[in-house]
């Protein structure tokens, strides 16, 4: 099936409150343009340099989401244009994003990545680490970032019960952290669900899904 058909099939099943991020990492600009011409305006990448290159080449009415692990020294390459950074897993990273955003007079939206998987390989904070940061005095001083939600990745497994448990964990953490409403932290987004599990994620409360291979086909490397 074509990228257009894949996109339309997925969009048909999505409730109105769920945002679709088309994950285009490793795919050529021609593939992204197919999705763009089908109406898609939100793209997710997991490497900053690749995202910056695609940003240069593509129309400027696209929202670019950084969904991968972010290295502090590369924040500067996306600070002028990135729309949402999903993988915040430490305070120093927030400080760097704040510093770079300030240079462009921007407020950059961010999601806190919560470690919900039992696997060790996944990044993220615990709920209490996140809560501690949000309530700290240093955090309140960061005027050029805004935390608008949480993000999580479930264990890579076929066990639906396990995935469901992990997604529910993220939903609960969201509800807990949502109470900590500050000037630069207003939680509204739950980013969870990928090609294999987005329907389950939506059932568990997801408001933003990150779908790659079901739109663009499988990638040529394991990621
Ligand atoms: C690659 C990736 C996705 C998309 O994965 P698919 O299984 O291809 O849909 C979603 N989220 C993150 C963080 C990713 O790195």
Q: Which atom of ligand 1 is nearest the CA belonging to 198?
A: 9
How do the domains of the chain map onto residue ranges? 3-216
pLDDT tens by residue, 125-141: 999 999 999 999 999 99
CA distance 178 to 187: 5
Smallest CA-to-CA distance from 50 within 29, 30, 31, 72 is with 29
pTM of the predicted model over 0.75: yes
- Cα distance between residue 141 and residue 155, in whole Å: 35
**How many CB atoms are located within 10 Å of the residue 174 CB?**
22
Rounded mean pLDDT of the chain? 96
How far is ligand 1, taken at its centre, from the CA of residue 212, in Å? 6
Q: For a pLDDT cut of 70, what percent of the chain falls above it?
A: 99
Residues in contact with ligand 1 by the CB-under-6-Å rule are 23, 25, 46, 67-68, 153, 194-196, 210-214, 223
Find how far residue 157's CA is from the centre of its chain.
21
pLDDT category at 118 given cuts 50, 70, 90 is confident
Q: How far is the CA of 136 from the centre of ligand 1 (A)?
A: 32
pLDDT in tens, 32-57: 999 999 999 999 999 999 999 999 99
Please determine, for residue 221, whether its predicted confidence score (pLDDT) is greater than 70. Answer: no
pLDDT tier, 18 (very low <50, low <70, confident <90, very high otherwise) = very high
- Give 199 Cα–ligand 1 centroid separation in angstroms: 14
Segment 188-212, tens digit of pLDDT: 999 999 999 999 999 999 999 999 9
Tell me what pLDDT residue 115 has.
96
Q: Do 6 and 214 touch, CB atoms closer than 8 A?
A: yes
Best mutation site among 21, 46, 48, 208 for ligand 1, i.e. most ligand atoms within 8 A of its Cβ?
46
Q: Would you state the pLDDT for residue 220?
A: 78
pLDDT of residue 223: 45
User: How many A from CA of 216 to the centre of ligand 1?
Assistant: 11
Ligand 1, residue 195: give the atom nearest the CA: 9
Which residues, including other chains, have CB under 8 Å from residue 153's CB and lie 6 or more apart? 113, 116, 117, 122, 124, 192, 194
Rounded to the nearest angstrom, the distance between the alpha carbon of 103 and the centre of ligand 1 is 30
Taking the CA of residue 210 as reference, the ligand 1 atom at the shortest distance is 10
Residue 122 has pLDDT above 80, yes or no: no
Taking alpha carbons only, the member of 184, 189, 170, 208 closest to residue 91 is 184
Residues whose CB is less than 8 angstroms from the CB of residue 128 and which lie 6 or more positions away in sequence, other chains included = none
Q: CATH 3.40.50.720: does it fit domain 3-216?
A: no
Residue nearest to atom 6 of ligand 1 (CA): 212
Q: Of all protein residues, whose CA lies closest to atom 11 belonging to ligand 1?
A: 210
């Amino acid at each position: 099936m074509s990228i257009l058909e894949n996109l339309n099939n997925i969009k048909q099943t999505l409730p109105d409150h769920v945002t679709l991020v088309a994950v285009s990492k490793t795919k050529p600009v021609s593939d992204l343009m197919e999705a763009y011409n089908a109406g898609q305006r939100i793209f997710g990448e997991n490497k900053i340099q690749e995202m910056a290159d695609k940003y240069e080449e593509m129309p400027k009415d696209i929202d670019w989401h950084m969904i991968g692990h972010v290295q502090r020294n590369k924040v500067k390459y996306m600070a002028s244009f990135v729309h949402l950074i999903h993988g915040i897993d430490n305070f120093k990273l927030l400080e760097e994003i704040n510093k770079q955003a300030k240079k462009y007079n921007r407020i950059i939206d961010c999601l806190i990545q919560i470690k919900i998987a039992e696997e060790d390989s996944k990044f993220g904070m615990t709920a209490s680490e996140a809560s501690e940061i949000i309530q700290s005095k240093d955090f309140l001083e960061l005027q050029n970032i805004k935390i608008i939600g949480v993000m999580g990745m479930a264990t890579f497994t076929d066990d639906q019960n396990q995935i469901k448990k992990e997604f529910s964990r993220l939903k609960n953490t969201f509800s807990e952290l949502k109470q900590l409403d500050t000037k630069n932290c207003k939680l509204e987004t739950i980013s969870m669900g990928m090609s294999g599990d987005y329907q389950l994620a939506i059932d568990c409360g997801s408001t933003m899904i990150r779908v790659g291979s079901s739109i663009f086909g499988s990638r040529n490397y394991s990621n």
